[in-house]
Structure 1
Amino acid sequence: MAFFNPYTFVPAPPRGPRGDALPDGLRDGPPDGHHRWHAGRWTGRIEVTMRVITPLLVMRTDRENPAGHRHLQVATCDDGRVDLAPTQIKGMMRAAFEAATCSRFGVFEHHRPLGYRTAADGTELRPALVRDGLVVLPGPLRAGGVDRPATFPVTAWGETAGGGRTWLLAGFAHGDEIDAVVDAATWSVLGVHQPDNAPAPATGQHVVRGLLHATGPTIRAKRAERLVVTSVVSSGPNTEPLTQRESRTIRGDDAEALVIGLRELIADQRAVHVSARSDEISGRGVPPWEYLGHEPGRTAWSRHLYDVGTGPAPTWVGPDTVLPPTGDRTVTCWTEVRRTRLRPVMISRLTYADPPDRLLDASLHPADRLDQLSAADRVFGWTRGRRKGGPDPQGPEAHRGQLRVTELISPAACDAVEEIAELTLDPLSTPKPSQGRFYLGAGDGGPMGSGVRREGFFDAASQALLGRKVYPHHRELEGVDSDEIRAKRRYRPAVENGQPRPLQDKQNVTLHEWVRPHSEFRFTLRVTNLHPMELGALLWLLDPLRCGRPDRPARHRLGMGRPLGFGAVELTATAVDLCDGEAMSTFLDTLGATVPVKIDPSELAGEFEAGMRGRGFGEVLDVLRAALVGYPKADRGVPTPVRYPRNGTSPIYEWYVQNEKDAVGGDAQVLRRRGRGDRLTENR
């Protein structure tokens, strides 16, 4: 069954070093400022009506249950009107303006490589040790003419009567040096002992020495930790000797680079668990080494993800992971067989080759100086971002922008807010940016190859970002009542015990009301010293028939729930009072004897579109228009749902897991670069 993805991308093509490929007036340069009226620049006001097309979710939290699930109501002011902030309108308009004018990204903070979780395949790994400025790869163990990795599983965890976990290796901790008696036939550890205290091996046994690598009870079925073998002590009588090949030692700059990479990888893994709302590791109310259950977030966190310091902790946790290690300490870790790259645990989160900002053309990076401002920066405002090394101390840190949203009049809540039966939304689970198939295309502008493996994502030499993310309008929700909207839910709920259920947890929310369609907001845009092309772009976006189509007006998107089709609004400029700066000065100098020339909004909007097409940026406007118009109600008479991928009623993530498996045969699904309807299909 085919379905449309809830989001697509407006192309963000290279614009030249200073936006030189764009029409004059949209290229990079300093703003004209607010201190005077400039000749050839337009100043004045634009009155706008914003009509709600699909239910608008401008919400506040009414209450939150112990599981973190929020119940939402429409935000209202003390005067009984819907509480919509001018900054929300400005943000919506800036996003559309950035895309339409091919401006620089206002914010783009992806300066470090993203990560992905590796497969659980221990045969592709070998142990590694970090100590004394060196990276040591212990040589493989050899017995019976066969080489094996220098590591053994050691049974370390038992299960308590209550389903908890108990440490079986009393007296030993992560990082300790131990001797182990191993069975030569089964290649298993029979017992562990303090160094030089192991009994003499019997026939068919060996004694080896190494370091205990313990990560904790991180998954439900885990029973073993790992012993990294550093030497063979002895073999039993009448037993083929066990030997260890020479270790490989990496020194100098190469070793330092590996350790820095490992340190950054650990920092990245820790950062993944910190969100704007909470720290998953330290914020769950119990120590991170505690096993509370098998559900995600309730197992113990892996040892490298937290620091104990001098605080109380079970004996097994051992010392914190400090890189590079101090004193005579040694850090145990893992490296891949086919390439030398360190990882803290066997099933680890690794980073891609390049950070996302290397896949974005330099001309689209956020401005660092006032003379680099693109059209969106000048019109809507700019703040210098803080990259690695700090901002350039020279020049202003910010620009206020040449546009303000004022005189916002919201409808009365008693008229605009509609109470609905309790509606729990399905989680808005999207592929994370590390899911490259949904964010990347080929460097030549085509789609990513269906056979590209996950570890090959984010390669700046052959790939590029698809563009600016937008949520196309869901036309099938126009003109329908609340009951029908509820019935048209395209997201199937999770399944428990064979029965679908709308799970209420911290990943989703429950609605009790929304701003009803046909409600109207009114506001005024006050602009100062806009270039005719900048003003033309603004007026183009405020004409629903021009940036849309005569039979399909454009719908911008505002508020929560945009992937579900909520928050479609129509913006219309109802009155325009603008004049040229020179004409305004003359008007004042002559005390009104000379009437300033008024503007023709349609003419300026047309000049903007013609200028963009004349410079080869017509595809940008075409794709943006397709998103504003929205996905069709039906494809050849058959309704095509708009939703995230899912196989039947199974969890969403299973679709992505299967899609990665399909890449092996070259059949993985990807988003195309053009956004005229990114159609995917279900895997049955």
Structure 2
Amino acid sequence: MITGRLEVSGSPNNRKLRVTYTHNGSYNQITLPNDDQLSLALAAKKQEGGLEALKNLPVELEEDGGQPVRIREQGQDWDRVAAAPIAPVAAAPADPFATVEVYQAPNLPPGDFHNPYNFIPAPPRQTEHPDLGDHNPVKQGMGHGYYHPDRWSGRIAVKLTTETPLLIPDAANATGDDHKSYPLRLGVDGKPYLPPTSIKGMLRTAYEAVTNSRFAIFAKHEERLAYRMPANLGLKMVPARIEKDATGNLIIQLYPGTSTIGADGAPGGNQMYAAWLPSYQPNGSGIRNLTGYPANNRLPNHRDRVTVLLEQYGKYHNPQHTGHPIFTYWKVRAMAPPGTTLDTPPPGAANGRHAPLRTPMRQVDGYVCITNKNIDNKHDERVFFSTAPVPPRPLTPALQQQWQALIKNYQEIHETEISRGMTGPPALANSRWSRQVVGGSSEWVLSPGTLCYAQVKKVASGYDVLALYPVMISRELYAQPPQALLHPSQAPAERLEQLSPADRVFGWVNQQGKSAYKGNLRIHSVTCHSDTAVASFNGLGVPLAILGAPKPEQTRFYTAHDATGNPLQVGVNKESGYDSAARGLRGRKVYPHHNGLPANHWDNPQQDRTHQDNQGHYQEYRRPRQNGQEQRDDQNRSIQAWVKPQTEFSLQLEVTNLSKCELGALLWLLTLPPGHYHRLGGAKPFGFGSVYLQVDWQNTDLKLGQGWKTFYQSLTAPSNADPFDPSSMITAFKDAVQKVQGGNFEQVPFIAAFCRAAQGFADQLPVHYPRLQAQLQPDTKIFDWFVANERTGNQGNGQKVSLPALRQDQGLPLNPLQ
């Protein structure tokens, strides 16, 4: 433990917080870039009183990598707890089915389209296996100083032929600011330049999959993700305010209005908790009837304490207001600063299915909660109040951590949109970002005066607060982060002894430290042999369609029923995907080859044919025009040229000190049957970049280390050199996979899935992102399909289908409603 002091420095307009301390004889004075390493108690104190509240405050801290961490007030404990601790390796169940029900493959009818991406399973590994397990390559004879006598080294000559157009964008010469237009990257000979690193990356991805190696990179997946909670759960949220008790401790005070709180948080008698404050024009952008303060006619601010006059309303099933109301609520009719006596206005008028109940009006004190017009049809903000005291609950470190993780998630998922200048959700026309989205780090901390919603549960002593949310129908954190679902044997290696086959062959860099291993494969001499390889386009080129961003929050596509990668069962709740570390991830993302495209699919790409049905396929790769104009903005890119199909390249692979099995896996990938393609370059979801590989055996030279020793000793080809038999190498690889996985090689799940991706689908269904109609539209929204798939209610029930297993993929329905 280190002791130090917080100081405030800088000019009045640029105040900064820094920590000073002495450690190991060295005096340190470090400015803190944010509040991440401040305890929640200190962050709350800063939120309440500003930087001056922390000035000259004695603190305790620790150091990590020379940086101060876990800074807390002297004598206090570190109070930021992990939101969802990940079980240590030793705690992982040996049997992936130990805590989940046995998987049953769904029996679904054939679908209408295939998703452009799927996953190759990555089941738990046998890390002790001599060929496919984890081993220190240096101790195995895979050092780089000499040829190991019993390992294979040499040159593999490869021919690469493009099957579909190949995109090699020249980022250094792109034009445009918000919208980028990319020329094709060319070499000094004027022909396409295909970077060796791109080919190596393509091969490594494939090699990882077919050897079931560890993931090379699995970063930024340690935080829990979030999803939009069901609307009916939002009705059970109790208004709450963070306050201080008599001893100065932070507490949660509930404000249930005139309602009683049910055992699960639902309001008694269907009387809504908070009062409705008329604020906005529904489906418009203007302010409507917002009740201001009579004294100065100003509008209320968020958190303002006010006196309000309330009138009880009901919402009915019909505009005639007959029968019992669906629910009742209090509506603000007048507002003033606290302590003011308000005059009673005439009874309010009915509006649509809403009508006053003609009960006596009430004058109460409360707090204004303004979350902004975050949906198009929002018309009211809220006033939190209570007519009967509810015993407060302590604000625990766990709740503070849950809140901070949730608010950070809100801000991170919208960070790019806000940086583009968007003032509200792009899918909505007249909405603005919620307060917690644009409030920055000040929204992370639950400080006195914070207004929020509490999820509660009835207990003997009152109500336990399970979680806190910024809005009624909020995003909700999944129980586990993605990292918790990754089997330990698949996690990126952290030391040489954990290097899996792909790490040993292609190289490894420690994601958590400074160690690395060079690898034993190098690609060079990539040459284009076609004189007419380039198809060029006029002007800014072809506007590509919008590429979908990865959405691991979509549990039905990204999470698995179990550690072997089976899809979630049809119909389960989406939150179940991350509900337990016994679940799993679907595996390694892959983009299946687009099989069965019409012969003219890639012809004349500058012509907008996106609305034309071409043998059941559409021009998916091109962004449709809107009102006759090309759509070029910061959501998509344009390409000025591509590499034509049937363009030939040659390249050389240099390998050193590979085992028979390691080399066999590589050769198997390089000798796939005709009609099996690897994927290379950009925009693979649209079908670009399918390439076929062949080995040029005549120019391939592979020897054991002993053979190379003899060769260099004589400088002539030795007559008794060990013969190179590629089929025996491939057989050694297949035998190793069969020994570890059991059964026939071609039926091993990750091999079968890889082959399906390489071939594409034989059913001739189109391949595109999920949407609700077959034809591509200028304003197609992928999100609508996922909403329909999850829907429950009067508008129909979604099928809640998951992305099918790649090897059994019969497609997804255009309309996922039942």
Note whether the superposition's TM-score is higher than 0.5: yes
- 2:162 match: 52
Deviation at 1:608, TM superposition (A): 0.7
1:183 to 296, 308, 311: 311
Deviation at 1:680, TM superposition (A): 1.7
Q: Deviations over 1:223-256 (max 9, x none)?
A: 4222121x4xxxxxxxxxxx32x3243326xx22
Partner secondary structure for residue 405 of structure 2: helix
Q: Is the 8 A contact 1:441 1:672 kept in 2?
A: no
- 2:705 match: 581
- Which segment is superposed worse, 265-274 or 585-594? 585-594
**CA distance in structure 1 between the partners assigned to 2:237 and 2:182 by the alignment:** 48
**CA distance in structure 2 between the partners assigned to 1:210 and 1:406 by the alignment:** 72
**CA distance in structure 1 between the partners assigned to 2:430 and 2:257 by the alignment:** 36
Give the AA of the match of 2:651: F
Deviation at 1:82, TM superposition (A): 1.2
1:199 partnered with 2:325: no
**CA distance in structure 2 between the partners assigned to 1:322 and 1:610 by the alignment:** 54
**CA distance in structure 2 between the partners assigned to 1:481 and 1:267 by the alignment:** 43
- 1:113 match: 224
Q: Deviations over 1:290-348 (max 9, x none)?
A: 67x98659843222223479xxxxxxxxxx425142xxx32111123567221112232
1:379 to 488, 505, 509: 505
Aligned residues: 620
- 2:759 match: 629
1:41 partnered with 2:151: yes
Give the AA of the match of 2:561: A
CA 1:424 to 1:71, structure 2 compared with 1: closer, same or farther past 3 Å?
same
1:378-417 matches, within 5 Å, as 378-386=504-512, 391=513, 397-411=515-529, 415-417=532-534
**CA distance in structure 2 between the partners assigned to 1:408 and 1:493 by the alignment:** 30
Q: Is the 8 A contact 1:76 1:82 kept in 2?
A: yes
Give the AA of the match of 2:766: P
1:217 partnered with 2:347: no
Q: TM-score when scaled to structure 2? A: 0.69
- 2:274 match: 151
Deviation at 1:495, TM superposition (A): 8.8
CA 1:518 to 1:146, structure 2 compared with 1: closer, same or farther past 3 Å?
closer
CA 1:507 to 1:196, structure 2 compared with 1: closer, same or farther past 3 Å?
same
Q: Deviations over 1:432-460 (max 9, x none)?
A: 22111112332275432211122333223
1:98-497 matches, within 5 Å, as 98-109=208-219, 110-121=221-232, 122-132=234-244, 133-142=250-259, 146=269, 148-157=271-280, 169=292, 170=298, 172-184=300-312, 187-199=330-342, 204-229=360-385, 231=386, 243-244=387-388, 246-251=389-394, 255-274=396-415, 279-284=416-421, 296=428, 299-307=431-439, 320-325=442-447, 329-336=448-455, 340-386=466-512, 391=513, 397-411=515-529, 415-420=532-537, 423-429=542-548, 432-443=551-562, 445=564, 446-460=566-580, 463-477=583-597, 482-483=602-603, 488-489=617-618, 491=620
- 1:238 match: none
1:2 to 103, 109, 112: 112
CA 1:298 to 1:410, structure 2 compared with 1: closer, same or farther past 3 Å?
farther
**CA distance in structure 2 between the partners assigned to 1:145 and 1:306 by the alignment:** 34
- 1:521 match: 649
Q: Deviations over 1:598-622 (max 9, x none)?
A: 4222221222112212322631222
Q: Is the 8 A contact 1:125 1:335 kept in 2?
A: yes
1:510 partnered with 2:647: no
Unmatched runs of 5 consecutive residues or more in structure 1: 232-242, 310-319, 546-551
1:655 partnered with 2:766: no
- 2:84 match: none
- 1:234 match: none
CA 1:363 to 1:174, structure 2 compared with 1: closer, same or farther past 3 Å?
same
- 1:26 match: 132
Give the AA of the match of 2:813: T
Give the AA of the match of 1:250: R
CA 1:28 to 1:266, structure 2 compared with 1: closer, same or farther past 3 Å?
same
Q: Is the 8 A contact 1:159 1:165 kept in 2?
A: no
Q: Deviations over 1:94-139 (max 9, x none)?
A: 1000001000011112111222123455423221223343233334
**CA distance in structure 2 between the partners assigned to 1:81 and 1:496 by the alignment:** 31
Which of the pair has the greater relative contact order for Cα pairs under 8 Å at 6+ separation? 1
**CA distance in structure 1 between the partners assigned to 2:628 and 2:761 by the alignment:** 27
CA 1:490 to 1:482, structure 2 compared with 1: closer, same or farther past 3 Å?
closer
**CA distance in structure 2 between the partners assigned to 1:644 and 1:541 by the alignment:** 28
CA 1:360 to 1:171, structure 2 compared with 1: closer, same or farther past 3 Å?
same
Deviation at 1:55, TM superposition (A): 0.9
Give the AA of the match of 1:680: L
Deviation at 1:405, TM superposition (A): 1.3
**CA distance in structure 2 between the partners assigned to 1:534 and 1:401 by the alignment:** 12
Partner secondary structure for residue 812 of structure 2: strand
CA 1:267 to 1:553, structure 2 compared with 1: closer, same or farther past 3 Å?
same
Deviation at 1:190, TM superposition (A): 1.2
Query: Percent sequence identity over matched residues?
Result: 33
Q: Is the 8 A contact 2:257 2:384 kept in 1?
A: no
- 2:87 match: none
Give the AA of the match of 1:84: L
Deviation at 1:93, TM superposition (A): 0.5
Partner secondary structure for residue 304 of structure 1: helix
- 1:571 match: 693
- 1:312 match: none
Unmatched runs of 5 consecutive residues or more in structure 2: 1-110, 245-249, 261-266, 293-297, 315-329, 346-358, 458-464
Deviation at 1:171, TM superposition (A): 5.5
Deviation at 1:268, TM superposition (A): 1.5
**CA distance in structure 1 between the partners assigned to 2:427 and 2:411 by the alignment:** 19
1:553 partnered with 2:690: no
Q: Is the 8 A contact 1:39 1:582 kept in 2?
A: yes
Q: TM-score when scaled to structure 1? A: 0.81
Q: Deviations over 1:41-98 (max 9, x none)?
A: 22222121111111111123676667x3433332223441212221111111110000
**CA distance in structure 2 between the partners assigned to 1:180 and 1:612 by the alignment:** 73
Partner secondary structure for residue 260 of structure 1: helix
